[in-house]
Structure 1
Amino acid sequence: MSTLSPATARLTYRALEPVHGMIYFSPHGPQVYRELGITDPRMMYFASRSAAFGPVPAEVTIATFFNFNPAAVRAVLPAAWNLAAPSDILHARLAAADRSLRQAWGADVDGPEVREAATLARQAAERACERAHGRPLFAAHAALPWPAEPHLVLWHAQTLLREFRGDGHVALLLTEGLSGLEALITHAATGEIPPEVLRISRSWTEQDWAQGVAALRDRNWLADRDLTLSTHGAARRAAIETRTDELSTHPYEAIGPDGCDRLRKLASTLTIRIMDADLAFPPMLSQRYRDTVR
């Protein structure tokens, strides 16, 4: 039984998420990947995030990323490994994180707040390594060496915490009988993110989406007309989110409630500076992050 509130784990994770999440939007990412000969944005994403596995076939990425159209993954993997070795892609990704955080934090990139946040986040991430079983995407990243510089330690720690939480979430979606596409549709039906954002960003066609909606409606996950959850669907989706929080508490037990509070306080300044650093966050996502740390 965890001694840490699941809500505390969720809030602490969300407060630091921009430290990791900026890597998918920062202009420094495309710059370093192009130097390796990778010019397709989809290839940049799938190759950089799955490079920790090594030169895997597309099916490994399809399985672990879960909610992307398999055709989009197969279009760029394993072709990416013919352009650059996974180790080189990982090195480029870390370089992009370095440049991005230096841009955001300037002279404070090696300051006491970053150092303290890195220490706390690393303690949590190292605790997560005790429970890597059944979490393949987390385990692959956990096997990578820790960076030396504090700001990159913080970035790597949040990467591990993100993938730890994500793997647990995917397991719960599967136990509810949801496919990757159906999981996206139920997310859209909560009203948190516009459906078109999720559909397009995960490369699903309008026909795919419509078929998924129809299947979920047949199983009473969705209301009869609008893209909203039915009472049944809302209860099941809420149960998934609650259990995701519960499965995510273990890492943060390493620092306890006081450490989590301190980490969120440090994050409130660091993440706002990331939002203000012109790292190309979509406005809607930037606002969500800002609301989280207020």
Structure 2
Amino acid sequence: MTDVTPALAREAWRLAEPLHAMIYFVPEVRERFAALGLPPVADYFASRGAALGPVGPGPVVATFYNFHPGLVARALPAAWQVVTPATAVAVRLDAAGAALTRGLGDDVVKSPEVAEAAELARRAAESAVAYAAGRPLFAAHAELDWPDAPHLVLWHAQTLLREFRGDAHVAALLVAGLSGLQSIVLHAASGQANATFLRASRGYTREQWAAEVAALQERGLLAGEELSDAGRALREGIEADTDRLAVPAYRVLGAEGATRLGELARPLSRTLVKSGFLSAAAPPRK
């Protein structure tokens, strides 16, 4: 069995990530939580944070990392007066199943290819439990029950792999001396994300954003509004550390299995992306 490299671990994650990430944009989530009486934004913190239990804002601010504490505090712990964590987990899974079926089609979600991808992703996610130390958000999600349907197994497995990688990314940011806000300022400066969307969705004011831009300029990581050479090097180092720390989850698959997971996930993810399922204005149900 050929070893999994950091580059291959990153590729396996990247190709499958839309299968999980669509959950943050599709209307199925908003509709279900709205029907229970949970307002927008609160549904995000409640659904993703439910694995931690009925916590207040502290653990969510710490593990999600780049949200303004005040934004989280407006949602938690008040959300737990509307839904229990167990209900939030169940509602999120139900929404994921409905969205994947709508986006991929009933025949595809029941296909042998989805079943094979689910089996590979589950093996990786379950093996990652041996490396859960220092990864609190992953560890919390890893204690949730596994669903039965293959497309839901695939979604849940990719959720675990995402949080496994995400916890590692937070560790890399800490080592680099970057706060949550600074990390998204640099992300926007790279040209890979919209600054206005990041600032507003994370709950920061223009003044707070500008203050961190100035701090990063003083540190030599920004040249004006763009990354400096030092800023690019720092981001590349953070991504390299994240890739390296993600390898243990995929090692059980070997290079062949990790490659196969990416091959199976690619057309599924492409379908969702082309259909706008990862857009902030996700397509409505028809």
Contact between 2:188 and 2:194, CA under 8 Å: does it hold in 1? Answer: yes
Once structures 1 and 2 are overlaid, which stretch shifts more, 186-195 or 162-171?
Answer: 186-195
Structure 1 residue 94: Cα displacement? 0.6
Equivalent in the alignment of 1:13 = 13
Structure 1 residue 276: Cα displacement? 4.6
**Given the alignment, which residue of 242, 245, 248 partners 2:243?**
245
Structure 1 residue 3: Cα displacement? 3.0
Question: What is the DSSP-based 3-state SS (H/G/I as helix, E as strand, rest coil) of the residue aligned with 1:213?
Answer: helix
Equivalent in the alignment of 1:266 = 264
Greater relative contact order, per chain length (Cα 8 Å cut-off, separation 6+):
2
Question: What is the DSSP-based 3-state SS (H/G/I as helix, E as strand, rest coil) of the residue aligned with 1:139?
Answer: helix
Equivalent in the alignment of 2:87 = 88
Written as runs of structure 1 = structure 2, the 5 A alignment for 1:5-154 is 5-38=5-38, 40-105=39-104, 106-154=106-154
Counterpart residue identity of residue 69, structure 2: P
Contact between 2:272 and 2:278, CA under 8 Å: does it hold in 1? Answer: no
Structure 1 residue 97: Cα displacement? 0.6
Deviations 1:207-241 (A, max 9, x none): 00000111111111111x2x112222221111111
Give the gaps of 5 or more residues in structure 2: none
Give the gaps of 5 or more residues in structure 1: 287-294
Contact between 1:9 and 1:252, CA under 8 Å: does it hold in 2? Answer: yes
Structure 1 residue 6: Cα displacement? 0.7
- The 2-side partners of 1:31 and 1:193 are apart by 27
Coordinate RMSD, CA, aligned: 1.7
Contact between 1:19 and 1:155, CA under 8 Å: does it hold in 2? Answer: yes
Counterpart residue identity of residue 187, structure 1: H
Equivalent in the alignment of 2:164 = 164
Structure 1 residue 113: Cα displacement? 0.5
Equivalent in the alignment of 1:290 = none
Contact between 1:103 and 1:277, CA under 8 Å: does it hold in 2? Answer: no
Contact between 2:55 and 2:77, CA under 8 Å: does it hold in 1? Answer: yes
- The 2-side partners of 1:220 and 1:236 are apart by 11
